[in-house]
Structure 1
Amino acid sequence: MTALGFLYPGHSGEDDYPRIEQLLGSDVRLDVVHTDIGEDARRVDALRRMYAPERLADGVGQVRLAGAEAIVWACTSGGFVHGWDGAQEQVRALATAAGMPASSTSFAFVHAAKEIGVGRVAVGATYPDDVAGLFVEFLRAGGLEVTALSSAGIVTAAEVGALDEAQVLALARAADDPGAEAVLLPDTALHTAAHLPLLEKELGKPVLTANQVTVWEALRLTDRRVNAPGLGALFTREPIVQV
């Protein structure tokens, strides 16, 4: 059994995780621990405060007690708003506190895109424009080219968590661009685990979503590869071998 730990802020799209665990169909356990979200507002200042160490300390302890082999900060915006260097320091501090390999959803997007061999991506963000722009900057710092950005301007995680399949598909379609090799939907508050096959069928290209890449990143940290067609191209392709 491979146990993976996730620090998830608040309550919105976390029921993606038991669904993903079921779709993995393997000896993988996903342990989700909720952290204090503070103010549910998609403002840069509020998002930066979300990762305060005192808010995560109890969660880190719970993940350790659960016997997890890796831990991921399951909040895209709570990572990239600190910039590339700040997000790296965040992950290093998390690894030290937890005593295990660590990462975040922001880095998961960069690693996942490279895993499936894409360099040009379109972004369908739920965030306001200024926050979405910081995610684009983060991706570019990670070596990805962003060909298009669509921002829905939603200001709370609660609103994002209430979006249905048709609205998620509309978000992806609005973001899609002929020059993009994949579409990214960066919000762990967004329910996407049940919609990945439809999203990729409708767009005709890989779609990377926050909770999907977060779980994949935790598996990567433990050197696990699980074939799960219901979770999209990321979970069905062979890893890209760099020469």
Structure 2
Amino acid sequence: MRRIGHLLPSTSLGADRWAVRICAPVAVETAHPTARAALPEHLCGPAIARAQAAELTRGAEQLAQAGADAVVWNGGSCGLHGLAHARAIARSIEATAGVPSSTVTLGQLDLLARHRLPSLALVTAGSRETAGRVADTYVAAGLRVASVTALGLATPREAAELPVARLRRLLLDADTDEARCLVVAGTELPVAPVAALVERELGKPVFDGARVAVHTGLELLGLHVDSPGWGRLFTSDTPAGVCCDTH
């Protein structure tokens, strides 16, 4: 049994909710081990503060001791603070845990580059200010942000408990003709249950943080899950691997 460790901010519900169900077809423990670091969803950046670095180290050590073969940071800080921050997080975890590591943001960018998707409609759970900073990260990576939708939700729990029928409608409304895909920042919004349906309705892929976290962990181990009910992320058949130096 191979294990993918998810390192979560203290307040996150995130990929924990979907990992076991998505990965049921393969012998991978994806939700356990999970470590919760006493860190906010958005780390201070782009430099990692000493106290936060200590928490990252503690979480990475916990996952290493639990036998994780790969680790994915599920926090939204990398989207806010850019690629240098994302690489720093991945390298810090990798150096401590001694296993391949990445972040949700690096996984998102890897997917967009691999599928040659130059433009996106961005959806975030939080404020317009936060959404703008996340958009800047994608623009800096050479992508075009065709539209930005900020849902204005105050807490991770509020995002996690958003009714999926309402979220489906919000995602459909966020799309534009210019966007080649939808990118949903963060891991809290419950996109997973409606991703395949939204993709069929729009005719384009949806990359939300929670499913990307699961996908990234699988690719770090060179594994693939064929679960079309969870959307296009889990229907391709050639894992390409993810590295913190890809972008």
TM-score range, shorter-chain basis? Answer: 0.7 to 0.9
Structure 1: how far apart are the matches of 2:19 and 2:165?
Answer: 21
Q: Which sections of structure 1, spanning at least 5 residues, go unmatched?
A: none
**Residue aligning to 1:34:** 36
Please state how far the C-alpha of 1:21 moved relative to its aligned partner: 2.7
**Residue aligning to 1:73:** 73
Please state how far the C-alpha of 1:231 moved relative to its aligned partner: 2.1
Counterpart contact for 2:125–2:159, Cα < 8 Å: yes
**Residue aligning to 1:201:** 200
Give the alignment's TM-score, normalised by structure 1: 0.86
Structure 2: how far apart are the matches of 1:8 and 1:19?
Answer: 18
Alignment of 1:78-89 (within 5 A): 78-89=77-88
Counterpart contact for 1:125–1:150, Cα < 8 Å: yes
Structure 2: how far apart are the matches of 1:171 and 1:153?
Answer: 12
Runs of 4+ in 1 over 4 A off after TM superposition: 42-45, 238-241
Give the alignment's TM-score, normalised by structure 2: 0.84
**Residue aligning to 1:120:** 119
Please state how far the C-alpha of 1:189 moved relative to its aligned partner: 1.3
Say yes or no: does 1:21 pair with 2:20: no
Please state how far the C-alpha of 1:188 moved relative to its aligned partner: 0.8
How many equivalent residue pairs? 233
Match of 1:208, SS state, is strand
- Give aligned-pair identity as a percent: 27
Structure 1: how far apart are the matches of 2:189 and 2:223?
Answer: 25
Match of 2:193, SS state, is coil
Indicate the RMSD between aligned Cα atoms, in angstroms: 2.4
Please state how far the C-alpha of 1:114 moved relative to its aligned partner: 2.4
Match of 1:155, SS state, is coil
More off after superposition, 182-191 vs 110-119: 110-119
**Residue aligning to 2:4:** 4
Please state how far the C-alpha of 1:57 moved relative to its aligned partner: 3.3
Counterpart contact for 2:222–2:239, Cα < 8 Å: no
Counterpart contact for 2:224–2:237, Cα < 8 Å: no
In structure 2, relative to structure 1, the CA distance for the partners of 1:117 and 1:203 (3 Å cut) is same
Match of 1:64, SS state, is helix
1:143 partner letter: G
Structure 2: how far apart are the matches of 1:172 and 1:211?
Answer: 15
1:233 partner letter: R
Alignment of 1:86-235 (within 5 A): 86-235=85-234
Q: Which sections of structure 2, spanning at least 5 residues, go unmatched?
A: 241-247
